[in-house]
A and B are shown apart, each in its own frame.
Chain A
């Protein structure tokens, strides 16, 4: 008995620790001022945590990429004054100093205002998207009723910033690359939104904390009721993940910055801190999208097993977020790049139809929620069929002329 009690007590103390800390700090303030300071503290900690995550994400990316390629990755940067060198943990700060001190070259033909505004706007919009994700049971900065719509509204505005960057550099390559980036972002926004709709439909609300609540509980005692463990949820998660890869210009879709073709895409004319801002915005976007993926499909801050409830919810959210980010890096290390026309064809002819069909599957799933006993298997079978059959058909049509070949030999 006391074990459960122990779980409950320690769990709850840790659980509400951040909130109690904050109230401790701002408790003595008058009412309106406390609201302001509370939100400022919230924003401050969020930026600090996500900033550190960005810093060590760049290091993690280079070290994991290195380890996959049988080399150590950066391990030479010493901690400044005590020049103790272990695993290159000071590397992000060295990169930061380098980015700040590097000369910021602005081409004279460039449109100064837009050239400066582009990275700032991009970073502003991607930080805005972070505000609405529920990091823990009590850790939600903005409680909007239409939080999902807010998230994608801020996300959609990043295209504007990419266009500004491409246009303001007045360079043939960056304009061409900006056009490509826009085409890619727009064509992958549709499957991204469509893959989110089933999760909202099943959870019955656009508010993210409500969606996480809907994924609580465990069926048969151990299987968590996350959306990803349902046929439509798994398909939706895969489509969401692939579109998130494309939205944040990551590996198989990093066409705009394809070094082998258009040098550095719309970033060609940026250097110094503005270049670092672009990277920061890309990583923030990546964190935001994977945070959204975790919230919608992987059960947000829900614990995977009942007896693990005592570990605080924000830890679970952190673990899931990090594992998703590692998959981002893992994919970057393995896959080559798609060509421009293949990329858009993949979006319009494969992801969008699958996402639409997935809507149907989710509708069927929610209507048949009442079935029980043997009907459960029928329900699962039909749902699985609704997911797999279109996948194989569309997959076969997509890779029509492409297949491994056998070769003949001349003796």
Chain B
């Protein structure tokens, strides 16, 4: 393990400093910058066009979500988890539900597990489609890929709305199952959506993947090495883009994932283009999982009959539950002292930790690249600042 990798910014910061000459220009990008995906700020030090130093600044959207978790009951925290990564509410709910079920040893019926997998994969489709749209918007397309992405996203959000009542703030999972049992009409609607999602992806890739300008703008930009990625706690598509085969659906095998056949795409260069392509290929795998899950959806109760809704007091103890969210490993660490409120309610935010390596990826690149590299990390400020 090269120790140089480990110090933040590592050797390459110093080397960059010594060789450079001329006066440096410090530019503050954000928090009102049009391309930082929300209130996120980067203090970038430039020498001419090249970036010499990049310090991210957090906290503009900090609501102290974890202190809130300690003052509200276990059930009361569920709607707040929708507001963490507000692009993928269903996976946040599932991660919180899995952690509490592990804390209280709460069994979950078959049908609920299948519905949870279906909703998680739909969220992955939605999140990766949005990411591709935003990334191309940062590359400079004037809104066309973003509009196509949002057109498809709306169809998935309509499914969530007809199931849980709200497009983005679903508050759908409960400890021991789900709140509403999906009707056969809903399952058919999902099947048709999944059926023609492949056609949309083909059209989307025809517009973007072969485009020489996009390839020129993103290939070889923001390279991240596998060793640094693992060591810096990077998870999700960003880690797989560097070639590391790490997918919690395979390694933790939580829920009913072992019953489905799906592959995990891996990148080779760890640059922005690989991160984009890994997400697009993951969407195709999600479609395969959805088809299998919809086919095998069993009957039975959606909620464990013995699950207590109110007065839920898990025994004293702690638990760390995690799932493979669209942005990476999203986990909840809960410590209970037997009371109705958790003693400690901790969220493991994937996009916050993936930003650890933002400076390493941006050094030596230009300002335009820094914007794209930030876009490829796929951050949502609700989860970064909590």
How many angstroms between the C-alpha atoms of A4 and B140 in the bound complex?
A: 53
The stretch of A227-235, A378-386, A396-404 that contacts the partner chain: A396-404
**By the criterion CB–CB under 8 Å, are A65 and B151 in contact?**
no
How many angstroms between the C-alpha atoms of A71 and B268 in the bound complex?
A: 38
**By the criterion CB–CB under 8 Å, are B217 and A339 in contact?**
yes
**By the criterion CB–CB under 8 Å, are B263 and A405 in contact?**
no
The stretch of B72-80, B114-122, B270-278 that contacts the partner chain: B270-278
**By the criterion CB–CB under 8 Å, are A407 and B278 in contact?**
yes
The stretch of A101-109, A327-335, A369-377 that contacts the partner chain: A327-335
How many angstroms between the C-alpha atoms of A62 and B266 in the bound complex?
A: 40
How many angstroms between the C-alpha atoms of A342 and B219 in the bound complex?
A: 13
**By the criterion CB–CB under 8 Å, are A338 and B213 in contact?**
yes
How many angstroms between the C-alpha atoms of A68 and B144 in the bound complex?
A: 7
In the complex, chain A residues whose CB is within 8 Å of the CB of B141: 334-336
**By the criterion CB–CB under 8 Å, are A338 and B274 in contact?**
no
Give A262 Cβ to nearest chain B Cβ, in Å.
Answer: 8
Is B294 located at the chain interface by the 8 A CB criterion? no
**Per-residue 0/1 for B240-279: is the Cβ within 8 Å of any A Cβ (1 yes, 0 no)?**
0000010100100000000000011111110001100110
In the complex, chain B residues whose CB is within 8 Å of the CB of A411: 263-264
Across the interface, A410 reaches (CB within 8 A) one of B27, B216, B263, namely B263
**By the criterion CB–CB under 8 Å, are B371 and A260 in contact?**
yes
In the complex, chain A residues whose CB is within 8 Å of the CB of B267: 407
Is B101 located at the chain interface by the 8 A CB criterion? no
**By the criterion CB–CB under 8 Å, are B273 and A405 in contact?**
yes
Give A341 Cβ to nearest chain B Cβ, in Å.
Answer: 8
Within 8 A of B (CB), among A386-400: 399
Give A78 Cβ to nearest chain B Cβ, in Å.
Answer: 26
In the complex, chain A residues whose CB is within 8 Å of the CB of B356: none
**By the criterion CB–CB under 8 Å, are B142 and A404 in contact?**
no
Give B111 Cβ to nearest chain A Cβ, in Å.
Answer: 27
Within 8 A of A (CB), among B171-228: 207, 209-217, 219-220
**By the criterion CB–CB under 8 Å, are B142 and A405 in contact?**
no
Looking at chain A, what size class is its interface with the partner chain?
35 or more
How many angstroms between the C-alpha atoms of A262 and B220 in the bound complex?
A: 23
Residue among A69, A252, A333 having the largest count of chain B Cβ atoms under 10 Å: A69
Is A70 located at the chain interface by the 8 A CB criterion? yes
User: Given A70-B148, A336-B211, A337-B139, A409 and B263 touching (CB < 8 A)?
Assistant: yes
A337 (CB) vs chain B CBs: closest residue: B140
Give B2 Cβ to nearest chain A Cβ, in Å.
Answer: 25
User: Given A260-B35, A333-B142, A334-B144, A408 and B371 touching (CB < 8 A)?
Assistant: no
How many angstroms between the C-alpha atoms of A70 and B155 in the bound complex?
A: 14
In the complex, chain B residues whose CB is within 8 Å of the CB of A334: 141, 144, 207
Is B329 located at the chain interface by the 8 A CB criterion? no
Within 8 A of B (CB), among A245-273: 251-252, 254, 258-263
Across the interface, A70 reaches (CB within 8 A) one of B140, B151, B269, B274, namely B151
**By the criterion CB–CB under 8 Å, are B140 and A260 in contact?**
yes
**By the criterion CB–CB under 8 Å, are A338 and B216 in contact?**
yes
**By the criterion CB–CB under 8 Å, are A172 and B35 in contact?**
no
How many angstroms between the C-alpha atoms of A252 and B141 in the bound complex?
A: 9
Interface residue count on the B side (C-beta < 8 Å): 49
Is A340 located at the chain interface by the 8 A CB criterion? yes
In the complex, chain B residues whose CB is within 8 Å of the CB of A336: 136, 139-141, 211, 213-214, 217
B366 (CB) vs chain A CBs: closest residue: A339
B143 (CB) vs chain A CBs: closest residue: A69
In the complex, chain A residues whose CB is within 8 Å of the CB of B277: 405, 407
**Per-residue 0/1 for B348-364: is the Cβ within 8 Å of any A Cβ (1 yes, 0 no)?**
00000000000000000
How many angstroms between the C-alpha atoms of A261 and B151 in the bound complex?
A: 26
In the complex, chain A residues whose CB is within 8 Å of the CB of B136: 336
In the complex, chain A residues whose CB is within 8 Å of the CB of B367: 261-262
How many angstroms between the C-alpha atoms of A396 and B144 in the bound complex?
A: 28
Give B154 Cβ to nearest chain A Cβ, in Å.
Answer: 11
User: Given A261-B371, A339-B217, A403-B215, A172 and B25 touching (CB < 8 A)?
Assistant: yes
**Per-residue 0/1 for B121-145: is the Cβ within 8 Å of any A Cβ (1 yes, 0 no)?**
0000000000000001111111110
Is B369 located at the chain interface by the 8 A CB criterion? yes
**By the criterion CB–CB under 8 Å, are B148 and A402 in contact?**
no
**By the criterion CB–CB under 8 Å, are A342 and B216 in contact?**
yes
User: Given A335-B141, A335-B213, A410-B245, A340 and B49 touching (CB < 8 A)?
Assistant: yes
User: Given A259-B34, A261-B371, A407 and B265 touching (CB < 8 A)?
Assistant: yes
**By the criterion CB–CB under 8 Å, are B213 and A404 in contact?**
no
How many angstroms between the C-alpha atoms of A333 and B136 in the bound complex?
A: 12
**By the criterion CB–CB under 8 Å, are A404 and B210 in contact?**
yes
Is B281 located at the chain interface by the 8 A CB criterion? yes
How many angstroms between the C-alpha atoms of A68 and B151 in the bound complex?
A: 12
Offer 22 A-B interface pairs, CB within 8 angstroms, sorted by A: A65-B142, A69-B147, A252-B140, A252-B213, A258-B368, A259-B34, A260-B137, A260-B368, A336-B139, A336-B140, A336-B217, A339-B216, A340-B368, A402-B216, A404-B210, A404-B215, A407-B265, A407-B268, A408-B265, A408-B268, A409-B266, A410-B266
Known contacts A337-B368, A338-B217; 6 additional CB pairs below 8 A are A252-B213, A260-B34, A261-B367, A334-B207, A339-B217, A410-B266
10 closest A-B pairs by beta carbon, nearest first, are A337-B140, A410-B245, A69-B147, A336-B139, A409-B263, A260-B35, A336-B140, A402-B215, A410-B264, A336-B141
Footprint of B on A, CB under 8 Å?
Answer: 65, 68-71, 172, 251-252, 254, 258-263, 332-342, 399, 401-405, 407-411
